[in-house]
A and B are shown apart, each in its own frame.
Chain A
Amino acid sequence: MSANAVPLDSAAPLEPPVPTKKPVKTTGLHIGAAEPGCAKVDPILVVDNVRRTFGGLTAVDVAHVEVPRGAITALIGPNGAGKTTLFNLLTGFDKPDDGKWTFDGRSLAGVPAYRVARMGQIRTFQLTKALGLLTVMDNMLLGAKGQTGENMFRALMPFLWRNEEEENRAKALDLLTRFKLDTKKDDYAASLSGGQRKLLEMARALMSDPTLVMLDEPMAGVNPALTQSLLDHILNLKAQGMSVLFVEHDMHMVRHIADWVIVMAEGKVVAEGDPHEVMQNPAVIDAYLGSHHDEDIGEDPAAETEHVSAIKELLDDER
């Protein structure tokens, strides 16, 4: 995890990451009881009967779920619950066996990944995908939408896109400054630490002014010092009017910044709710402990302790 760490990251405090400002929670997101698949007042993403199997294994089988607009929604669940697979399906990187879903009222089933991104639903990856042999600045510029110079023939006529490029460059520099990467702008992305790459991937996603940002484990492998600023950045997204859906294992973080929590286990949505209430839901504790019990003897001990500590955190917090 810390193989990529640079000294910058390592002077980290050991207390749990807490945003520097007290986050303002958005409430009143749902209609009726907070149960799996409950309706939202203003959903941005609506998923219906999306199923994906790998051979005999059903990785995702979501009957119905709605993601609220203008809020931070956490998608949690034990390893192998199908969170990443669901992300891949919703963003066009994978095709479901069947099912449909809409983003901002538009159906996305069968829409290729690049069009999904252009519509304003931007994702990041669990395994960071910084473009190593591009500079940090080029990584950022790649994120900008609708560039004239990205057309092969217009690319040969720089006067057509020079101004646009300068504007994008200024915007990128602004974002990089916010993410404290501006001093690295001319370095290859490959030279960044793991945490800085996560920041870069997030900053790059913001170049396109998305409406829904989907972050797959934004904190995984990030040193606590950077976790702090990542939390602030995610809260900022909401402040700027974006909706956020993120996968996270760290319960402290979920509790502190999420307005809504969706819990997945074995491909299904098993619980939903406000972050404090959902953690009292027996289905959630079952999901974690259940998966713990179900695992074969060959289970990875690291994952096991992760689940157990997650549960401890849940229970601690609600006491």
Chain B
Amino acid sequence: MDWGAIFGNAAVELISPTTAAYALAALGLAVHFGYTGLLNFGQAGFMALGAYGYAISILTFGFPVWGAFLVGVGASVVFALILGIPTLRLRADYLAIVTIAAAEIVRLLFTTNTFASVTGSANGLSGYKNEFAALNPLADGTYGFGPFTNNAYDTWLRIVAWSIVIIAALLVWQIMRSPWGRVIKGIREDEDAVRALGKNVYAYKMQSLIFGGVLGTIAGMIFALPRAVVPSNYQTTLTFFIYAILLLGGAATVLGPIIGSMIFWVLLSFFSGFIARAVEAGWLPFMTGIQGGQLSFILVGAAIMAIVIFRPQGIFGNKKELAFVR
């Protein structure tokens, strides 16, 4: 058993762009769910809009990177408005139902053959990376050390991805300790009380939905850069993984989503590496390689359950807060 490779591959995930993407999407959900109390079950839809908005803008319209970025962000603002206008005046559960359905609609629109020339249908899109690579100021060669050694493009991608995560985390941290954040947290506690104090609750909920959604959309772009854009990546399970990360780290925290994402990906990589090799070595004779892949998700689920049971407020959550949750 090659433990070195198992641990090495797990360590790679610590700073991989995918980990950054999940961290950013979870940060968006922290804004929605942890701070505002909005049940957005359509974060995968926001991510899909980012990935497709970016890829289509470059492939079909030949936009520069910043133009493609703005298209993705614009699409998610429109998406948030469409979701929010009819539901944010209603009880919280309506938003949950509408977002879960809308995210599926988005995914199916990208999957359908009708728009295959633009969306690539079920095969998705690829070949949109050159524009981003062209911005790379790093000379060719390898950078980093140990398991974190990468070529120039991958290093550039990691720098950009994690810079965005850090900037977003600072933004969320600053805005949540401002009077705006106070209103937002008040809405989570009791929106009628906040309304009675003269705050336009509807507008605040909309702003929160847009803010968290845009973070999800940018996460979708980061997610798309190391791979192809494939519609099946944006299923509801993606949203649930991001919720798992959020609850793991602490719902109303800034560091929680980031560290939660790192733990999630490191664990997933560790378990799948371990099981794949265990199957190879004949330790699990009743299993095929595919079943092994599924087992690693089960093990990650069990590990997350254990953490949530022993630390229900999440890793960074405040125990005192939880004492009052009935």
Contacts and interface: CB of A to CB of B under 8 A. Distances in A.
Given A131-B186, A131-B190, A152-B207, A147 B195 contact: no
A151 interface: yes
Contact of B179 (A113, A130, A132, A141): A141
Given A113-B196, A131-B193, A156 B185 contact: no
Interface of B: 171, 174-175, 178-183, 185-186, 188-190, 192-201, 207, 211, 320-321, 324
Which of B183, B189, B321 has its CB near the most chain A CB atoms (within 10 A)? B189
A191 B320 CA distance: 10
B178 A125 contact: no
Which of B193, B194, B321 has its CB near the most chain A CB atoms (within 10 A)? B193
Contacts of B199: 114, 142, 150
User: Which DSSP category, helix, strand, loop or mixed, fits chain B's interface?
Assistant: helix
B179 A165 contact: yes
Interface string A102-139: 00000000001111011000111100011111100010
B196 A117 contact: yes
Contact of B178 (A115, A131, A132, A149): A149
A93 B186 contact: no
Nearest to B170: A156
16 contacts: A117-B196, A125-B193, A130-B193, A131-B186, A131-B190, A132-B189, A133-B324, A134-B185, A142-B182, A142-B183, A142-B186, A150-B199, A152-B175, A155-B178, A155-B179, A156-B178
Nearest to A88: B192
A123 B324 contact: no
Given A142-B194, A142-B197, A145-B198, A152 B180 contact: yes
A241 interface: no
A191 to B, nearest CB: 7
B189 A149 contact: no
Nearest to A138: B182
Contacts of B190: 129, 131
Given A133-B324, A150-B180, A156 B197 contact: no
Contacts of A117: 195-198
Contacts of A204: 197
A179 interface: no
Contacts of A130: 193
A80 interface: no
Contact of B180 (A113, A115, A122, A155): A155
Nearest to A124: B196
A208 B324 contact: no
B197 to A, nearest CB: 5
Contact of A151 (B174, B180, B211): B180
A188 B321 contact: yes
B178 A158 contact: yes
Nearest to B194: A142
Interface of A: 91, 93, 112-115, 117-118, 122-125, 129-134, 138, 141-143, 145, 147-152, 155-156, 158, 161, 165, 188, 190-191, 201, 204-205, 207-208
A129 B192 contact: yes
Q: Which 10 A-B pairs have the closest CB atoms?
A: A149-B179, A155-B180, A155-B178, A129-B193, A117-B198, A190-B324, A131-B189, A118-B198, A150-B179, A113-B195
A152 B180 CA distance: 6
A134 B196 contact: no
Contacts of A91: 196
Which of B171, B190, B194, B197 has its CB near the most chain A CB atoms (within 10 A)? B197
A55 B252 CA distance: 41
Given A141-B182, A205-B196, 4 more contacts: A129-B193, A141-B179, A155-B181, A156-B171
B292 to A, nearest CB: 43
A196 to B, nearest CB: 15
A208 B197 contact: yes
Contact of A191 (B178, B179, B182, B324): B324
A151 B179 CA distance: 8
Contacts of A155: 174-175, 178-181
Nearest to A190: B324
B324 A132 contact: yes
A134 B186 contact: yes
A117 B321 CA distance: 29
Contacts of B181: 155
A149 B197 CA distance: 16
Contacts of B194: 131, 142
Given A149-B180, A165-B179, A133 B198 contact: no
A161 B182 contact: no
A190 B190 CA distance: 12
Nearest to B175: A155
A145 B193 CA distance: 14
B174 A123 contact: no
Which of B188, B195, B200, B320 has its CB near the most chain A CB atoms (within 10 A)? B195
Contacts of B321: 133, 188
A103 to B, nearest CB: 14
A130 B181 CA distance: 17
Nearest to B320: A188
B178 A161 contact: yes
Given A125-B196, A191-B324, A158 B189 contact: no
A149 B211 CA distance: 17
A132 to B, nearest CB: 6
Contacts of A150: 179-180, 182-183, 199
A145 B200 CA distance: 12
B175 A123 contact: no
A143 B197 contact: yes
A196 B110 CA distance: 55
